[in-house]
Chain A
Amino acid sequence: MEVGQLQRSFIEYMGSLFNEGFLDAQFSQLQQLQDESNPDFVVEVVSLFFEDSERLLNDLTMALDQPNVDFKLVDAHVHQLKGSSSSIGAQRVKNCCVPFRNVCEEQNTEACLRCLQQIKQEYLLVKNKLQTLFELEQQIVAAGGAIPMMQ
């Protein structure tokens, strides 16, 4: 594909991510932080997010799998997940965390499990989308083009 086309696809895709609520303004902040000294900043941070989130989701699964669920621990994990997802702008993931914390307070294991399921889905979705976005970027760069800056 030629560069222009790639770039247009990129822009379009990016826009859809924002429109569909996968990403929010915080992601734009990350993009703005990226500069010549840190050209891979966004990828770097998002990768950190993936690692951290998967770890947290595993911990959550384990915690909710216990006979005696430690809801404080669950809540702490969810809180952290909320923080990191909001920091990179993974809006839908963040939005799942709020009801998750509520049911934690209620100490409702069933509801927690449902929330966990939902959050996992959202996480996988946004991970997929971001990876697609990064691939598009790489293609543009490989084709010799510049990655369009989204406003």
Chain B
Amino acid sequence: MNLGVGSVVKNMSGARCSVSWKSNDNNQFPAGLRVLVVDDDPTCLRILEKMLWNCHYEVTKSNRAESALSLLRENRNGFDIVISDVHMPDMDGFKLLEHVGLEMDLPVIMMSADDSKDVVMKGVTHGACDYLIKPVRIEALKNIWQHVIRKKKHEWKDKDFDQSATAEAGDRQQKPPEDVDYSSSANEGGNWKSSKRRKEEEDETEERDDSSSLKKPRVVWSVELHQQFVQAVNQLGIDKAVPKKILELMNVPGLTRENVASHLQKYRLYLRRLSGVSQHPNGLNNSFMGHPEATYGMSSFNGLELQALAATGQLPAQSLATLQAAALGRSATKAAISMPLVDQRNLFSFENPKLRFPEGQQQLNNSNKQINLLHGIPTTMEPKQLADLHQSSHSPSFVAMNMQGNSRVQQNNTLLMHMSQQQQQQPSRAQMLNETNNGSQVSRPPLSMSQQPLSSNGIPGAVLSRSGGIVANVRGPVYSPVSQASPMVDFSLNQNTELQNNSFPLVSSDSGMSTMTSKRMLQEEVNSDIRRSRGFPSDYNMFDELHPQKSQDWGLSSVGSTFNASHHSTIPGTLDISPSMLVQQGISSMKRNGQNGISPISNAFSSREESGNVNPMGGNLLTVKAEQLPDASYQSSFFPDQFGQDDLMSALLKQQESVGPVETEFGFDGYALDNLPV
């Protein structure tokens, strides 16, 4: 029979195409869909096989559930969808459904001659993506590809933030610098923003296509692996089982936290089904999420650290960004809780399992794309700028700033939280702004948030840190981010430690950088978790290996976008701009362009605006920044050489003057790019 399918051989005996279905048959979509049909009734099996064949699908049939499972296990990526009968002699169809869901995460369609409601309901609760009543008509089978796409789309959605972010970052870097002329007014920024947005959208699409064809490798949850997993979970206690700890207990090389996290989620679903609890996605998410704000904070913080790390070139920006993005993305997608709540206490405290993070990690591992390192960094950030930023010798300062910011984790968190959150945070933002204003003095904690003693440098890190930890506390001494990279990474990965600790990881890395000073400072405030942050070197290393370091890819913007995207599921490029990030961008750009530094920030905000969350934040950012960088000296300490601190400072101050407080979701609204002095 001439099926008209190019490369796919319709093999009724069950040829298994290991190539991704989608990439294989893009033109003949949905032809080539690899279906495994399981039914103990030979008549039905034969009919289904023929029907699926006629739909141009690649059919494999099995009349035994056990053999079907082995088939699936042996051919991990060999099938796209499973159709199974409910009543089978050797294994209940629902049991098979759960196995497939847990181990392979394929869409499963149940079918039965039984159309009673409770059976159909059982299918729903067990996670079947569809339920067909026998006799099955070919029309019903023609559309089963939708379940594959839907599932993939859902996965992409989670992982797409980092992908798009990385894509964006990559694109930004390649983007010609002409539109990076930030010396212009807000209009330019606006243009840049819109072009950025387009780019982001394109990137997103591209990312999707690429990812679909790339077909991320699935973790094979073999029986043994699952046993290990269950053991670890039981050891920790189901309520306390956080992916990170599970991962540690399992001690499986190559297994990422994200793998564990998603598996944990499924496992919890499974347990709930067993206990008869109705499935509540949000509820589950909640249990998973733990503290959204923590997650969020983590993301932002990670972005900060990542940034620093990226700056140092030691951390593959993309990896981190992806990680964060993933984490953020997951948070966002998983539940509303992903939106960080303003948690004054500790933005970066991750007491709860950070589901996001593992996911992010996974994405990190899987993604080959450039990862936006900095969350909350305005995606609008020009790659060039980012590169500059990255390259600037001040990166360490940033890192240092980050470090310092860490000490102010709380404040930063607050700030970050505010920034990242789409809604509500207006008051907090206002507060933040106020704090920023208050913090204009170097001597005082610039961000009002950090009460901790800052090193004399008074690096704008305070500002940065306010932004949510993305930027290190400016106050702190300039730290070479290089060594920080790993601790930072670890930190990102480290879900548990208080965010404050996160900053310290950098410190604790003992890179011998000036960070150490901040370390002292930080240590005063933070306790402990530095150790923890150290504990994640393995994670970091893993990522490191997975992703070639691209020190230049300090995708501030991408990170920002990632960050943003994850939170808001909005325009990927947009981000919950953490002021600090923006500041950093501004700083870097300023360094590069002298006065232009502000622009990126504005742009960053602009991108934020696009997402609907932020308006041209450039002004805001600057404002914040200005406030946070009260003194020129402050700045100079932060950017010892390359940055025109005076320029920056003046720009900031000007910005500060020009920008009026605006009450917006993020508290930054109302700052017009036009206000940017740059």
Contacts and interface: CB of A to CB of B under 8 A. Distances in A.
Contact of A48 (B42, B114, B135, B136): B42
Contacts of B89: 76
Which among A26, A32, A41, A83 has the highest number of chain B CB atoms within 10 Å? Answer: A83
A52 B113 CA distance: 16
- What band does the interface of chain B fall in when counting residues whose beta carbon is under 8 Å from A? 20 to 34
A68 to B, nearest CB: 20
A53 to B, nearest CB: 8
Interface in A21-66: 26, 29-30, 32-33, 35-38, 41, 44-45, 48-49, 51-52
Interface in B523-560: none
B202 interface: no
Interface stretch (A85-93, A109-117, A122-130, A135-143): A85-93
Given A30-B47, A33-B50, A76-B87, A86 B113 contact: yes
Contacts of B657: none
Interface string B22-66: 000000000000000000111110110011001000000000000
B138 interface: yes
A124 to B, nearest CB: 17
Contact of B138 (A33, A36, A37): A33
Nearest to B54: A33
A84 interface: yes
A79 interface: yes
Contacts of A86: 113, 134-135
B402 interface: no
Contact of A83 (B1, B51, B113): B113
B50 A38 contact: yes
A35 B1 contact: yes
Nearest to B138: A29
A32 B55 CA distance: 13
B645 to A, nearest CB: 77
B345 interface: no
B218 interface: no
Contacts of B135: 26, 29, 83, 86-89
A84 B138 contact: no
B112 interface: yes
B137 interface: yes
Contacts of A79: 87, 113-114
A52 B138 contact: no
Contacts of B85: 83
A85 B28 CA distance: 34
Contacts of A41: 50
Contacts of B41: 52, 80, 83-84, 87
Interface in A78-112: 79-80, 82-84, 86-89
Contacts of B40: 80
A76 B114 CA distance: 11
B165 to A, nearest CB: 48
A87 B1 contact: no
B87 A80 contact: yes
A65 B136 CA distance: 33
Given A80-B87, A83-B134, A87-B136, A52 B50 contact: no
A37 B49 CA distance: 13
A32 to B, nearest CB: 8
B486 to A, nearest CB: 59
Interface string B63-90: 0000000000000000000000101010
B376 to A, nearest CB: 56
Interface string B83-99: 00101010000000000
Contacts of A35: 1, 54
Contacts of B46: 44-45, 48
B572 to A, nearest CB: 45
B113 A45 contact: no
Contacts of A45: 43, 46-47, 50
A130 B346 CA distance: 76
Contacts of B137: 26, 29
Contacts of A26: 135, 137
A60 B46 CA distance: 23
A33 B43 contact: no
Nearest to B1: A37
A107 to B, nearest CB: 18
A52 B42 contact: yes
Contacts of A82: 113
A36 B134 CA distance: 26
Nearest to B136: A87
Nearest to B39: A83
A32 B135 CA distance: 15
B525 to A, nearest CB: 67
Nearest to A56: B41
Contact of B51 (A33, A48, A88): A33
Contacts of B87: 76, 79-80
Nearest to A97: B113
A88 B112 contact: no
Nearest to A79: B87
A33 B1 contact: no
A51 B42 contact: yes
B54 A83 contact: no
A83 B136 CA distance: 10
A110 to B, nearest CB: 25
Interface in B606-664: none
Contacts of A37: 1
A82 B112 CA distance: 10
Nearest to A27: B135
Which among B44, B89, B135 has the highest number of chain A CB atoms within 10 Å? Answer: B135
Contacts of B50: 33, 38, 41, 45
A87 B51 CA distance: 12
Interface string B126-155: 000000001111100000000000000000
Contacts of B47: 30, 33, 45, 87-88
B110 to A, nearest CB: 13
A45 B42 CA distance: 9
A25 to B, nearest CB: 9
Which among B43, B54, B112, B135 has the highest number of chain A CB atoms within 10 Å? Answer: B43
Interface in B177-212: none
Which among A26, A32, A80, A88 has the highest number of chain B CB atoms within 10 Å? Answer: A80
Nearest to B40: A80
A64 to B, nearest CB: 19
A127 to B, nearest CB: 13
A37 B1 CA distance: 5
B52 to A, nearest CB: 11
21 contacts: A30-B47, A33-B50, A35-B54, A37-B1, A38-B1, A45-B50, A48-B43, A51-B42, A52-B41, A52-B43, A79-B87, A79-B113, A79-B114, A83-B112, A83-B113, A83-B135, A86-B134, A87-B41, A87-B43, A87-B134, A89-B135
Given A29-B137, A48-B42, A83-B134, 19 more contacts: A32-B138, A33-B50, A33-B51, A33-B54, A35-B1, A38-B50, A45-B47, A52-B42, A52-B43, A79-B114, A80-B87, A83-B41, A83-B44, A83-B113, A84-B42, A86-B134, A87-B44, A87-B135, A88-B43
Report, nearest first, the 7 A-B pairs whose CB atoms are least far apart.
A37-B1, A83-B113, A84-B43, A86-B135, A49-B43, A87-B135, A26-B135
